[in-house]
Structure 1
Amino acid sequence: MKRVATLLTVLVVLLAGCTGAASNATPNPAADGSAGTNSVTATGSATTSAAPDVAVVSVAVAATADTAAEARNQVAADSESLRTALQDAGYEPNTTDYRLSPEYDHGGETRELVGYRAIQVFEFDAEPDAAGEAVDVAVDNGASAVNSVRFELSDEHRAELREQALADAVGDARGDAEAVASAADRSVGSELSMQVGSQGYSPYEVRYTASAASADAGTSFEPGPVTVTASVTVTYELE
């Protein structure tokens, strides 16, 4: 018991002076409630990144008119022209939002109805290196606004990065567990349990502005990497 108490004292001192691996690994009491430990639990995390392989473009067609019917009809006509142009260019636009609402002037003592505004939003995929060209096609064929351009990963590519992040997170957890076990003159054995924790996915998004294109040159983008994060909690046997 004296040797066990000494080892635990050393372990507490070492843990108090560590801010990295040791803070994520916790020795677990033995099943019989004694001062010894027979397992250690550690949490590991990892981030992986890769170049995007798909661009998601969101554009809108808008019109304002004196009546709701006129605004609706104008947007319908412009949307049809936009949809046809995008399809001819090889894209498959889908409607993601549609709004028709009254417009008011609030400058007086009471609000005054001044017309109606209709908006139809389309979203479509493009190759990352052709995202600028896709934006130009949309703007040149009736798009009133470019809401966003998101650079993402295809489902298959995203799954591959997630798998790699999970594997790296397991390695991170084992490293923490080994550091704590070493401080107690013990070693890490096999895994007793494993639990997948939080996961994250961060596409690269850019906002389109008028300065993104000029009369002499088409729109172009330089997307950054897309990141995937993962964490795991693993309990290991102590030997």
Structure 2
Amino acid sequence: MFILLSNPKSKQITSVFFEVMNSVNKFQCYYLLIQMSLKKLILVSMIFVLVAAMAGTAAAADTSDDKTISVSGTGKVSSAPDTVIVSIAVETEDTDAYKAQQENAVKMDKVLSALKGMGLTSDEIETTGYNIYSYTSGDDSIFGSKKTVYRVTNTIKVETMKVDMAGEIIDNAVASGANSINYVSFTLSDEKSNELRSQALDAAVEQAKSDADAVASALGVSIVGVKTVNVGASYTPVSYNYAYAEDAMYKSTASAGVSTSVEAGDVDVTASVSIVYLIR
């Protein structure tokens, strides 16, 4: 061994060997440092997540400790409708589909002319349905004859703010060839509906607040704020169904010169609120 080290070449080899070993040790040190840094980073991240979770739990716990009073209120406002909707149809039948369609077109054209002659505009009249279908009619016996009949139905909707013209619309439509009145509905325009909805909500909130004040006074606590509010509102149009509409149409045809009377009635707009008040 002494001889090997005393040899110049051996010294050179030994020097290279220690340099290589030194580089390996440095690499291992760097690797260990990187591993330690990653572990520290993971540990810090875990601590951060844990602290955030604890903070969220604490916040939730604080919120759940709120003292509250839950109340609800309703409000209702009634008003005369400012819009009327009348569904009118012309139905024709024939064993020839083309003839049934042509007859229907002629009658509907007369109906539209009559309605526009009353002062109604194209914006107030809308086609809502057009249908052609067939069915078999005739004797079901062995020697009986059967035939195919085609029925054409053309339906329009008149929607106008001329509410007092409802009966006149029915009369003129039937006199001009309409043979089906599907329904008559008295409702509210969007502007009027929103106005009444606000009034109904005011009444609902006032009722809820009054109840909350009464409860708080009885309990000896004070209302300090509002935690949550839920709102709902609706209204139901005044509608006359198919049976009423058919009766009105019959009276229109049976009583010449007598106008059909259709009473609008009032439309009720209702609103409701559920309020959770904070107390102390």
1:125 corresponds to which letter in structure 2? Answer: E
TM-score (norm 2): 0.67
CA RMSD of aligned residues (A): 2.4
The answer on 1:196 being equivalent to 2:231 is yes
CA distance 1:67–1:50, shift in 2 (3 Å): same
Show CA shifts across 1:60-116 (max 9, x none).
011001022222121112111211221122123210111111123487379954301
**How do 1:51-130 residues align onto structure 2 when only pairs under 5 Å count?**
51-91=80-120, 92=122, 93-105=125-137, 108=140, 112-126=146-160, 127-130=162-165
Residue 222 of structure 1: how far off its partner (Å):
1.5
- 3-state SS in 2 of match to 1:42: strand
Q: How many residues align?
A: 207
Residue 189 of structure 1: how far off its partner (Å):
3.2
**Identity across aligned pairs (percent)?**
34
The answer on 1:155 being equivalent to 2:190 is yes
Which runs of no fewer than 5 residues in structure 2 stay unpaired? 1-60
> Are 2:92 and 2:151, in contact at CA under 8 Å, matched by a contact in 1?
yes
CA distance 1:70–1:32, shift in 2 (3 Å): closer
Equivalent residue number for residue 269 of structure 2: 228
Which structure has the highest helix share of the two?
A: 2
- 3-state SS in 2 of match to 1:72: helix
1:50 corresponds to which letter in structure 2? Answer: S
TM-score (norm 1): 0.77
- 3-state SS in 1 of match to 2:127: strand
- 3-state SS in 2 of match to 1:219: coil
Higher Cα Rg, which structure: 2
